[in-house]
Amino acid sequence: MKNTSLIIINLLLSWPLLASDWDSLSESQQQTLSPFQADWDDMPQQQREQLAKGAERWQSLDKQQKGQVLKRLNRWKNLTPQQRQKIRKRYQAYKKLSPRQRQNLRRLHQRFQNLTPEQKNKLRKRFNEMTPAQRQAMKKRQLKRQQKRNQRNP
């Protein structure tokens, strides 16, 4: 019994390593990842694992969700390397935010998404017309407001 438990634990712990071997992928994962097959063995282990997990998620999406993912993927492909790098840096900065800060950022983003196209354009225009000093002052005001809110709602 003890040996069986050790074998099961060992298999569970090594599963991600096994799952990244091309032949160990499910048929649907292989089909989804077929564009990567020729380079699969040369990819870093972590990248293969991420792709395998992504293929699993892909299979669970409905048709509309897959369409949205493809649309985002095509937008990503059309970005310049500089634009992609800027996005990656912003994402890294986002990951460093506290959960409360992330929640606040998502709330602000949702508020922006709920604006009419005219309101969005007006806000963008106003922001683009600001000097760097004005933008910095605005950020400081927003930070102070957020700190006050956090003190009221710990």
**Is the pTM here over 0.75, yes or no?**
no
Determine the pLDDT at residue 11.
Answer: 42
Whole-number pLDDT of residue 18: 47
Three-state secondary structure along the chain?
Answer: CHHHHHHHHHHHHHHHHHHCCHHHCCHHHHHHCHHHHHHHHHCCHHHHHHHHHHHHHHHHCCHHHHHHHHHHHHHHHCCCHHHHHHHHHHHHHHHHCCHHHHHHHHHHHHHHHCCCHHHHHHHHHHHHCCCHHHHHHHHHHHHHHHHHHHHHCC
| Model pLDDT, residue 20 | 65
Query: pLDDT per residue over 37-95, tens digit each?
Result: 898 888 898 888 888 888 888 889 999 999 999 999 899 999 999 999 999 999 999 99
